Structure 1
Amino acid sequence: MASPHRIALLFNANKVYDRNVLTGIGQYLKSTRVEWDLFMEEDFRCRTLGIHHWRGDGIIADFDDPVVVETLSGMPLPVVAVGGSYADPRQYPENIPYVGTDNAKLVRLAYDHLIDQGLQRFAFYGLPPAPGNRWAMEREQAFLDMTRADRLDALVYRGSPTSAGGWGVAQQAMVAWVRSLPKPIGIIAVTDARAQQLLQACVVADVAVPAQIAVVGIDNDPMAQLLSRIALTSVLQGAEEMGHTAAQLLHQMLHGGRVSQTRIIVPPKGINVQASSQHQPLKSPHVMRALHYIRHYACLGIKTDQVADYVGVSRTLLEEHFKRETRQTVHQAILRHKLETAQKMLVNDAVPLADVAVQSGFTSLQYMYAVFRRELGCTPRQYAEQNGSDHDLPPARQAPDGRRQGASELHAD
């Protein structure tokens, strides 16, 4: 029996995109029973020094880093490159099979989604120009091409590099930019990490999301979702498919097969729509501020009086504006947010029901059961059983006239 091939994976396992590519490689190995001995570090840059002297059989590498591109040029071993796509074909490496994410389609999904929300102003939060940020510049240029084709003015903010130095100053500059923007506006962030920074800046600037600024990221990073008070809308890259494809190409090369396609561009998987981008045009600034506060603090047990205090108006006046614009009371909006939060948590079987009740802001497990029965026609446990494998959570019941019913129709308790 032949010995397993020794394969080096040059990726940064600290990044969600790279981890998803690695997952795709692992899935290919399991599905085909290919036997490889894999060699990798948490940060691929630790493996570049002396790589030419490495006694292996093949390499799959992140070619978004110019150091890796230079290091692997002229490599005698079979190499498969993974990275971003480029509008200029000359940007791709010569004589190396390349699997890329479709940067233009990633941005197109985010842009079209914001248009569907009724927005007419758009901005892009990217990265400063740098040799390792070519993929980010491609996304920025795709955004500019789209807005130019639609004859729209577009704003671009690149912010500071991703290093920790000067973080406080960088946040102050972003807060100033957020406050200066014309509103309402939709912003595409080049990654979820940048989108999370943007959401934090909106909190500091006291700018309502998504009423004034709607945000879409790219990566669908679970950590960004976990650390953001407002659930982040994000475009899903086909990173696992990229890893699967790269492994398949290298497998062919290791067995003397001829690679018919030297450049494969993988489209995005879709868009995970969450609260950060669900813009609803509102006329009343009081309602905007109230919804902003509710999205951040509903699960902490806030009451209508606290919302009115935050907005700076009487409870009676706030209720009048709320009913006129949203056809619901402030209490109903708070309860709706709690219910939707509980629905999302129930998809994860690992979260006990009692913890779901506490973390979604219900005063007791019994009260959460009562709300679920009344608004969804089932218990929380039944909901979890019905939706445990479906990430597209169904909304509350539909009213006879087709309008969304449920938290917007909740009875005051």
Structure 2
Amino acid sequence: MNRSHDASPPQAKISLLFNANKAYDRQIIAGIGEYFYSSKCGWDIYIEEDFSVHHFNYNILSSRGIIADFDDVEMAQQLSQIDVPVVGVGGSYHHRQDYPSVPYVATDNEALVACALNHLIEKGLERFAFYGLPAAANKHWAQERRAAFLRQTGARGYPGEIFEGMVTDSQTWESAQRNLADWLTSLPSQTGIVAVTDSRARHILQTCEYLGIAVPESLCVIGIDNEELTRYLSRISLSSVVQGTQKMGYSAAKLLDGLLAGRAVPDAPVVIAPEGVIARQSTDYRSVIDTMVIRSLSFIRKNACRGITVEHVLESVGTSRSNLDKRFTLETGMTIHKAIQTEKLARAKELLETTSLPVAEISRLCGYNTPQYFCAIFQQNLAVSPVKYRSNRVSLVR
């Protein structure tokens, strides 16, 4: 007996135009994938093999729909000339007329800067600066974040200083860092710096280390992106604002699916709020006035996991134990020995939470003589073993 089967609906070829050398783009693609997987929509997704866009080839031009990075000005202009349904993804704009004329999903630049500033204000800071990108970089989102910083510091009555520096590459790197060094040394102590991206924030951390500027005791630094790839490329771990990039990708895919199905889609841009701040060492600020204590804290922060003792701290600042102990306890409420131990345990917790390294290796990296001693100290201070701590954190994430 012949059985009739309903023909499967034709697959709609969808092109994703992103340059996934950036964490931002990769996370947006992940959000698109989440929608594709959960909705079971009939898409045949096309993306370049190296996850980048070199030119508009036949596969792109013959697509049923496109989701694209509209922060790429040239790409946005090219897409305005083709007759294919397009959803744009990019930064938000303060003025509605600046948005493109396609369905659009945006990261909320105003809220990203507000998150960063609020975090610094909660730390007790009252002076702020912004390290951005020059207009020559042609990054509209960077200029929007700069303007948001000036609006928000002005509205709150705080002084806000701007430095945009240079566009950096292998040819301009040294000049750019010299200019950045001049700016950083001109800032008053206890200034909070909002960097336009994590990459620019890392420039600050590197230059502060070269100059001997204590972070966060003298300058606090926060970035935007929570770029996991580069978080370990500085000795001081970077606090950062987490964008809602995966939600942006999901929303963009949902918009395109609606367009292709003939459903009404919003005329207004869909603006996605940030997820919050991941606080790390670069904003672990405590108000300390005594310059000798500031230097001691900076030395401890950089060297605690190298097995230093109180004597090493005393040598670094050139004073006696009785003198520094008294000043240190007065300013921080803890002894020098306790500060070293606290720093080592903080690093151990971070490694337990963010890596799969064996406990014995974490013990070594954090400067403990033996894994047994590390486990005993960890249990004594946190009332839980390192293994249990890790499993508890994994359970919370899930």
1:100 partner SS:
strand
Deviation string for 1:242-265 (max 9, x for gaps)? 000000111111222221344111
In the TM superposition, residue 287 of structure 1 has moved relative to its aligned partner by 0.9
2:247 counterpart letter in structure 1? E
Alignment of 1:5-404 (within 5 A): 5-41=12-48, 42=50, 44-48=52-56, 50=57, 54-94=61-101, 96-130=102-136, 132-348=138-354, 350-390=356-396
Task: Give the distance between the partners of 2:355 and 2:240, measured in 1 at CA.
Answer: 23
Structure 1 CA distance for aligned equivalents of residues 316 and 257 of structure 2: 60
Could you say if the C-alpha distance between residues 92 and 131 of structure 1 is closer, same or farther in structure 2, counting changes exceeding 3 Å? farther
Q: Is the 8 A contact 1:127 1:159 kept in 2?
A: yes
Structure 2 gap segments, 5+ residues each: 1-7
TM-score w.r.t. the length of structure 2 is 0.94
8 Å Cα contact 2:13/2:44 also seen in 1: yes
Alpha carbons of 1:362 and 1:102: their partners in 2 closer, same or farther (altered >3 Å)? same
Corresponding residue of 1:2: 9
Distance in 2 separating the partners of 1:343 and 1:311: 28
1:141 is matched by which residue type in structure 2? A
Call closer, same or farther: CA 1:257–1:71 in 2, change over 3 Å.
same
Worse overlay, 339-348 or 106-115:
339-348
Distance in 2 (alpha carbons) for counterparts of 1:88 and 1:67: 21
Shift of 1:52: 9.4
CA contact (8 A) 1:369 1:379 kept: yes
Corresponding pairs, count: 390
Q: Give distance in 2, aligned partners of 1:330 and 1:108.
A: 35
Q: Is the 8 A contact 2:103 2:266 kept in 1?
A: no
1:180 shift after superposition: 1.2
Distance in 2 (CA, whole Å) between partners of 1:24 and 1:195 is 26
Shift of 1:286: 0.9
Q: Return structure 1 stretches of 4+ with deviation > 4 angstroms.
A: 50-53
> How far apart are residue 191 of structure 1 and its match?
0.6
**How many Å separate the matches in 2 of 1:236 and 1:56?**
32
* Distance of 1:285 and 1:18 partners within structure 2: 43
Partner Cα separation in structure 1 for residue 154 and residue 58 of structure 2: 44
- Partners of 1:353 and 1:365 within 8 A in 2: yes
Cα deviation per residue 1:303-359 (whole Å; 9 max; x = unaligned)? 222222222323332222112212222121111111111112222462211111111
**Structure 1 residues 152, 51: CA separation in 2 closer, same or farther (over 3 Å shift)?**
farther
Q: Which runs of 5+ in 1 are unaligned?
A: 393-413
Following the alignment from structure 1 to structure 2, what is the Cα–Cα distance between the partners of residues 33 and 310? 62
Contact 1:6/1:37 (8 A) holds in 2: yes
Q: SS in structure 2 opposite 1:347?
A: helix
SS of 2:158's equivalent? coil
Deviation string, structure 1 residues 94-121 (Cα, Å, up to 9, x no partner): 2x10000000000001111111111111
RMSD between aligned residues: 1.8
SS of aligned partner of 1:388: helix
Letter in 2 for 1:46: H
Say whether the 8 Å CA contact 2:15–2:60 is kept in structure 1: no
Tell me the distance in 2 between the aligned counterparts of 1:236 and 1:349.
19
Q: Is the 8 A contact 1:241 1:266 kept in 2?
A: yes
Cα distance between partner residues in 1 of 2:153 and 2:30? 35
Paired residues of 2:125 and 2:190 also in contact (CA < 8 A): yes
1:40 corresponds to which letter in structure 2? I
What SS does the aligned partner of 1:227 have?
coil
- Give percent identity, aligned residues only: 40
- Does the 8 A contact of 2:150 with 2:160 survive in 1? yes
| Residues 127 and 159 in structure 2, CA contact (< 8 A), matched pair in contact too | yes
Quote the Cα distance in structure 1 between the aligned partners of 2:110 and 2:297.
33
Amino acid aligned to 1:236: V
Tell me the alpha carbon deviations over residues 354-405 of structure 1, each in whole angstroms, 9 at most, x when there is no partner.
111111221110111110221111211121222223369xxxxxxxxxxxxx
Residues 122 and 349 (structure 1 numbering): CA distance in 2 closer, same or farther, change over 3 Å?
Answer: closer
Structure 2 Cα separation of the partners of residues 183 and 20 of structure 1:
36
Identify if the C-alpha distance between structure 1 residues 346 and 61 changes in structure 2 by more than 3 Å, giving closer, same or farther: same
- 1:165 counterpart SS class: coil
